[in-house]
Structure 1
Amino acid sequence: MDTVAVIGGGPAGILAAGTASKQGKKVILFEKNSNIGKKLLITGNGRCNITNNCDIENFIKNIVNNKNFMYSAFYTFTNTDTINLLEYFGVKIKVEKDNRCFPKSNKAIDIINAFNKYLLFNKVSVLKNTKVNVITLNKNGTFTLHINNKKSMTFNKVILATGGKSYPKTGSTGDGYIFAKKFGHTIIEPKPALAPIKLKDEKLKKLQGISLNNTKLTAYLNNKKLHEQTGEVVFTHFGISGPAALSLSSYINRYSINKIKLEIDFLPDYNYQSLEKLIKSLFLKNQQKNICNTLCEILPKKIIVYLLDNLNIPFDKKTNNVTKDERYKIINSFKKLDLNYNGLKSIEQAIVTSGGISTKEINPSTMESKLVKGLFFAGEIIDVDALTGGFNIQIALSTGYLAGLNC
């Protein structure tokens, strides 16, 4: 009987272990924490956005790096398979805004409990509080694992599902990159993805706590449009966060700060002409009111104060005294305000890791290494990442399933 070591008890490792055991392999899952799925507890604000209910083509569209690599995995183990598996082990799933899927209980722990049942059902041995320190490739093609209690164990196959480097407190400390590099694999430099964006602007700190539901962020690389993202933006003490900012970060994380320019459109539903018409109408109706209070009908007061201050237009200026040139400047600042980009928050504070094992060195149909026979990869350790919405966890589950199926 073939023996399989799965290193890492996140969603990728769990599916890999369960699937391999179903194929008749003797499987041991190594988890350095006291329980499996620790990172799942913090996803979706503790509710666990386990997958997305969109079709496979939309899954592919939501991948930022190496889209084509995921076709085989997504079609082999789908989002429907994820939902069916969880419901089989007692967790009902609900679909919310943007097709995001959560447990009906809104408790991530229910997902972990279901995965524990899944592993037990499939007779997977789970060694918790067990850290793999070294993996040795033997002359006969087997692998010897040296673990934290100085014990060694030998296996026919190894699946690395150790995650990336984001949220290291959950166990994702980059161990897998060290193992893979030792076997000759190329590591695409890990970068923060789905990370808050830092801005260099002291006055912007006054906007801390403001949340705008419909805002457009645009990134330029060497003055050419790279990507734009519309959605919720939250102003913080260091810059911006929220779904739109987090998603945009995944497109700019591989470029140096001085090559990226950012701008914000506070009112993407208005073009310049319609916005000018709106402001003219407001000014006409409120001729004796000051400009700040009048514009507060469009955007929060703190933003208006910030914009007027930037434009050197007095807050208390009456609307009937606003010049055509000032009105144009106001409209332009609403539609196209430059943000002083200062990088991203650290990878430890990112939701996922961008980078990892080069996909060129992994067979996308099996998840097996093209360099070392019997070595497989699954989940965030691979250089594939996606936007928010349950896509990254599904990447982990689908690649884990494929690795387990073919090991």
Structure 2
Amino acid sequence: MTITSTSTRTGRFADSRPVRLAPLDILSLGLMGIRTRKVRAALSALGISIGIATLIVVTGIPASSRQALMSELSALGTDMLQTVPVRQDPPVLLPPESVDMAARIGPVTVASAVANTHAEVFRNDRAAAGDHTGLTVLASKLNLLQAINAEVGSGRFLSADTEKFPTAVLGSAAASRLGIPEITAGQPAPQIYIDRRWFTVVGTLEKTPLSPDIDRSVLVGWDAARGLRQFDGHPTVLYVKAEESQIEAVREVLPATINPELPGLVQVSRPTDALAAKRATENSFSAIFLGLAGVALLVGGIGVANTMVISVLERRREIGLRRALGANRGQIRGQFLTESVILSALGGIAGTLLGVLATVGYATHQGWQPVIPVTSVTAGFGGAVVIGMLAGVYPSVRAARLTPTEALATT
């Protein structure tokens, strides 16, 4: 009898212990509130999705606009320096190896040069000696276009296959003066007369705002220029492109690098004012991003918290019934906290997709390259989950504090 009584008493105590819910059971309870109130859940998720979509839009559209603006400012030569010898008598000459020496500076990305050949160019060999075009014939390195942000208008630029031969490329103004506006494929290439030699024109250039002198020049290969009578092989203008963040440092060391013996006789252009404008624009956009993102997240968090508080008020009968059937406070807290996180996560996913689509559509309409900051996308979903947790703390605690009699009596 004693053993039976003990067994019975032990069994009664075992039955009275609260049942632990597995994570899947808590997830199911959280989803149950969403499934049974689909309209309310949809509106709740819509509130957070609008906040997250706003976050992505207010960061993505300005980022796309900034990228377009940065590209325009970069085209103004924010990363380019020009180096010329100081004008004096006798003239100062840059060393022939100065291009290779400049290219060895760490932050330098491109180093190129042109050299004045002092040759005269004519449309044909019948022009009078004094009837020259007033154009400059320059020997050019093959990477010149990359260094000055220039583009080929028609034909092609000098290459390793053609630089040793008498071929030429015309600047935009030079092409107009010589009557050769473009090179047409499939037709015989026009020729011009330089220093008593015929040169075949293989291409023309678009206008080069960063280097107007190139527009009024005839470019020939460096090796081909060695056959001209007055060419001495010394660069006249050195073009250097470097990392924007290091452009001032490169400017400081450039004279001593390319002309160690006479660095004071080397003149280097200062960085363009567009670089200062570009840096100021980047800083102002960064401040705007932070402010707008904070407002969007705050609005979304308030919406979720408000929705969950109302949910607790509406579902007091459900809370009281579950408490009467044995659910403890921890299980009630877990149910409402899980529901809040799920609602916010669903809203975060929807808001992220909506924000990305809106940003891509608007940027494409404006002709910009769409830019979606990775941080805003990850913050969109991650922030939604965190907001859901924070917003669900008070409502879940409030729901757990309700006793069964209090919950059932106030419905």
Name the structure with the higher strand share: 1
TM-score (structure 2 length as normaliser): 0.22
TM-score (structure 1 length as normaliser): 0.22
Q: Of the two, which has the highest radius of gyration? A: 2
Query: Relative contact order (alpha carbons < 8 A, sep ≥ 6): 1 or 2 greater?
Result: 2
Name the structure with the higher helix share: 2
